[in-house]
Structures are given as C-alpha cells and as structure tokens.
Amino acid sequence: MTRVWELPIRLWHWLFAGCVLFSLYTGLSGDFSLMEWHQRSGYAVLALLLFRLCWGVWGGPYTRLRHYVTTPRDVLAHFFRSLRSGEPPARAHTAPGIALGVLLFLAVAVQATTGLFATDDIFIEGPLRAYVDAATASAMNWTHHRAFWVVIALVSTHLAAHAVYGAMRNPTPLSMITGRKTVDLPPTDHHLLRGALTIAATGGAVYVALRYL
C-alpha cells in the first residue's frame, strides 16, 4: 500500500463533500431561515473549488491537474480490462474516477457560481446580483435551480461506485481516509505548510472578493 493522497487533499475531500451536502440540504429543505447558511456554505464551496484548482498546480504529485485527463476509450478499457487484471494499477487514478471527478467539479462550480447572481425577487438575492441585468440574473437563477440535479446524480454515482468497490472487498473507498492505495508508485509527502498557506489564501480571496465587490 502506497500513500498517494496527502493530508491536505484528504481534508479537502471531506470538507468539500460536507459543504456540498449541506448546501443541497439547506437549498432544498424549503426552510427560508436556512438561506443565510445556504449562502455561507456556497461561499465555502467556492473557496474549496479555488483551493483544488491551486492544489492541482502545486499540490502533491498525484493531485496535479495533468493527471486528470482521460478519454472515453480509457473509461471503457477500465471496465473491460483493468477490473479483471490482478496487477496493481500504474496510476493513482482510474479513468472513470477521473471523468466523474472532473464532471462533479464542473457541476458544483456551475451551481455555486450561478448562485452568486440568483434571486427570487422577494427575499433572497445573490451577492453579485446587482452586477448583471435582469435577463442574465434570470438565466443564472434558472440554472441554479436545475443544475443541482446533475450534482445529485454525480454524487449518487460516486457513492454507488464505492458501494460496488466495498462489495468486491476493494480498499479504494478507504483511500481518502488512509491516503493509501495498492499502486506501484513512489509515496507522496504531506506538504502541510503548503496546504495551510493555500487554504488561507483561497479562503481569504473569496471572502475579500464577496465582501468588497
């Protein structure tokens, strides 16, 4: 077992999952008293998305953006060949995992970004609503109130995949807890100082941008 996921990316994973699920709950519960928390959670999601982009540039070796490239052929090859092979994979990521991760990142980014401009014209208004015209705000609002279904579908697919892994006694679902996978690769360092500076910078950037725009 090799450590391929450093501590900052594991903490990011669980914070991101928690914030996305909390945003879905507060947005879909119908309780208007939770809307302030819904917005705060959305801001946290934006900071975490920005962190992940930055960490993809200077984070651990297996979390860099260059590893998140795949093709439909690679995805099919994983299902038709890789799952039947007893050899340790040569990469920290599976092709379906890459595809799902990228799609989920993009779907959450659309959901969080459109929320900044969305409004119900009565009680709730995104912090950047005043910077766009009515037609743009309407389009953002329409997208924000429908794109969450894509997020839910992708999250459900992710959980179902891990359930299958669990049934197959594959340790992959534990990798975001232990950081380790059965791969023939050099281990990664934790990069704790770099991670702390990155989350401070990205969180601060989102706060300043939304506070003073």
What pTM was computed for the model? Answer: 0.92
Neighbouring CB atoms inside 10 A of 76's CB total 12
Q: What is the pLDDT of residues 126-140, one digit of tens each?
A: 999 999 999 999 999
- Check if the beta carbon of residue 146 is closer than 8 Å to that of residue 136: no
Phi, psi of 101 (to 5 degrees): -60, -45
DSSP class of residue 171 equals S
Phi, psi of 3 (to 5 degrees): -75, 110
- Whose tokens are 């409004």? That residue is 119
Q: What is the pLDDT of residues 147-158, one digit of tens each?
A: 999 999 999 999
Residue 83 has pLDDT above 60, yes or no: no
Burial, 81: exposed, middle or buried (Cβ in 10 Å; 0-12, 13-18, 19+)?
exposed
pLDDT at residue number 9: 97
Residue 86 has pLDDT above 60, yes or no: no
Residue 40 has pLDDT above 90, yes or no: yes
2-212 placed in CATH 1.20.950.20: yes
pLDDT at residue number 123: 73
Reduced to 3 states (helix: H, G, I; strand: E, B; else coil), residue 119 is: strand
Q: Which sequence spans correspond to the domains of the chain? A: 2-212
pLDDT at residue number 89: 58
Q: In angstroms, what CA-CA distances link 26 with 22, 35, 98, 100, 110?
A: 6, 7, 28, 24, 18
Q: What is the pLDDT of residues 161-177, one digit of tens each?
A: 999 888 888 888 899 99
